[in-house]
Structure 1
Amino acid sequence: MGCVQRTVKRLFDIVFSLAGMIILSPVYLVIAIMLKRQKNGPAIFSQERIGYRGKPFTIYKFRTMSEPEKEPQLVAKSSIGQSTKTELFLREHHLDELPQLWNVLKGDMSFVGPRPERRFYIDKIMANDPSYVLIYEMRPGLTSEATLYNGYTDTMEKMLIRLHMDTDYLKRRSLALDASIIAKTFISIVSGKKF
């Protein structure tokens, strides 16, 4: 992806993340009220992730798991099992990630790019495949081909598949490919199904 395409991509991120936050503000409010009524604590949680050039940043999500940031190795077994129907619906349709439009606007993330990961998991992935370092060449994204294929990665096998798909995207990335991924993501959000 050349300099002009990267500039266009960034302009797209700024314009559509800002527009999205404004248009979807009623949805944000409804989701926040629903989550607050079901459980104590904040509707949105923040968590450190590793992004572009290996720099940490704070990511924002609607809280649909029980304390996922404290013991990441237990997330798949404990937190998801305690989720309410509302929380499961939000995750199934990726609505829990709407607050990340703020991350896109700030420049921490892009609409399309590899999913940002926690240091805990990066260390484990790197021990299996050091090519993860290539991920640092891109801004992390709200969606990607790997996310559409894999959904939530709860095993090392899935994490390595996602890594290989993300490094393949690095070689092929273009505005046309990004547009295709965004279109498929919209279909996935509406249908709740993976590709």
Structure 2
Amino acid sequence: MLLYWGPHTLQHPDAGQKVALIAATIAFLLAHLGAKNLLSSYPGGRSQGLITSQVLIFYGILIIGTLLLRVQASRMLLLSSGFAALIWFHIEYSLTRAYLRPKFAVIAGGFADEILALPDCDVRVLTTLDLNDVRYDGVVADFQTLTTDKERFLTACALENVPVYHAKTVYESLTGRVKIDKMSENNIGSLLPSSAYELTKSAIDIFIVVLTLPLVLPLSLFIALLIRVESPGPVIYTQTRVGRGNKPFTIYKFRSMRFDQLAGEQFAGETDPRITRVGQVIRKLRIDELPQFFNVLKGEMSLIGPRPEQPSFVDDFNKQIPFYSYRHVVKPGITGWAQVRHGYAADSDETRVKIEHDFYYIKNCSLTLDFFIFFLTIRTMLSGFGAR
């Protein structure tokens, strides 16, 4: 503002500049808090690319809001403030990134051993029950394997204001996965999403789908034309998937492979020869899923949730993991936590990892986490992460 208008304007701003100064200050604080929350609250939030989306969202809402409400405010000041905030937040992130890694003291044994192999975390095994005057962000232990001496030590740590964490909690926080080998290891029955959350989420889903139809419909027609020109067969590919409550439903996608009615159910590889040239592009950008907006309007899917699987895969995983179908307590989604954290699964081992991501989402589902997945989805679409 000083460089553009000079010192006189800074001392005597007009009404529009005053409003813009106040609005820009509020947007800066909200963007800073939002970026800080995303970079620390959820696994996978340690990504510099999320800063840009936060700044664009808050300043975009601010500028559009002033236009719609016809508020007299300096657009130049708002734009320059957003640009300056974007640069500053990236500099701040680069300078403080090394200090964002948590440092834990770990009491080895049981599930706590899983923490020792995690990246992006400074973990040190306690050879003796003593912190040796080293300051840690927390002490981690498997509470199910504690001896009397370890319980006394952890109590003493808490009294010294050193946080004490269950190893499973730390693992979930750092990986975004709920590792379950036995039903008794997690109180799954109490993890059902609240009805208020589900109703609110459904309303938001429908609102977003209807709002984006003017953009989605022309894009869909263009994609359909490209598919039709490149290869014979239907434009829309349908398949039976398993949805909420283990109920089957028909999912819709733009066809990205050569049409073969005799092809069996199988995982799609990264270099699968069945994928067409148009299919490679729409799969990488994830826009082959656009027809599933119709599934959302029908109430069969949500914009965000665990991806629905084919019935034969569900039967196989039910045999391997007795409580696998618990992932069907929520509506399946077009995008989800497993997709933005892991990408497509190419085999059963990768699918098991994705299931652990799904359990994390179900255990922690909220509008805040959905909002975070939305930002990660944008990053995934731009980078092509995990595309098959």
TM-score by length of 1: 0.92
Matched with 2:79 is none
**Rounded Cα–Cα distance in structure 1 between residues aligned with 2:356 and 2:224:** 35
1:42 and 2:247 matched: no
**Rounded Cα–Cα distance in structure 2 between residues aligned with 1:139 and 1:3:** 13
**Rounded Cα–Cα distance in structure 2 between residues aligned with 1:62 and 1:3:** 32
The within-5 A match list for 1:1-195 is 1-67=193-259, 70-73=263-266, 75-76=267-268, 80-194=272-386
Matched with 2:176 is none
Deviations 1:26-59 (A, max 9, x none): 1001100000000001111111101000111110
1:175 deviates by 0.5
Contact 1:66 1:79 in 2 (8 A): no
Q: Secondary structure at the match of 2:237?
A: strand
1:77 deviates by 5.8
Matched with 2:8 is none
Number of residues of Structure 1 aligned to a counterpart in Structure 2 = 193
Structure 1: runs of 5+ lacking an equivalent:
none
Structure 2: runs of 5+ lacking an equivalent:
1-192
- Between stretches 124-133 and 94-103, larger displacement belongs to 124-133
Contact 2:242 2:249 in 1 (8 A): yes
- The structure-2 alpha-carbon separation of the partners of 1:68 and 1:119, relative to structure 1 and needing over 3 Å to count, comes to farther
Matched with 2:169 is none
Q: Secondary structure at the match of 1:48?
A: strand
Between the aligned residues of both structures, percent identity stands at 33
1:67 deviates by 4.2
Richer in helix (by share): 1
Please tell me the residue identity of whatever aligns with 2:198: R
Contact 1:46 1:60 in 2 (8 A): yes
TM-score by length of 2: 0.47
Contact 1:66 1:80 in 2 (8 A): no
CA RMSD of aligned residues (A): 1.9
Please tell me the residue identity of whatever aligns with 1:112: I
- Larger C-alpha radius of gyration, 1 or 2? 2
Please tell me the residue identity of whatever aligns with 1:3: S
- Between stretches 61-70 and 37-46, larger displacement belongs to 61-70
- The structure-2 alpha-carbon separation of the partners of 1:46 and 1:86, relative to structure 1 and needing over 3 Å to count, comes to same
**With CA pairs under 8 Å and 6+ residues apart, which has the higher RCO, 1 or 2?**
1
1:79 deviates by 9.1
**Rounded Cα–Cα distance in structure 2 between residues aligned with 1:62 and 1:191:** 20
- The structure-2 alpha-carbon separation of the partners of 1:79 and 1:58, relative to structure 1 and needing over 3 Å to count, comes to farther
Deviations 1:100-155 (A, max 9, x none): 01111111000111000011111111122122121120000011111112222120
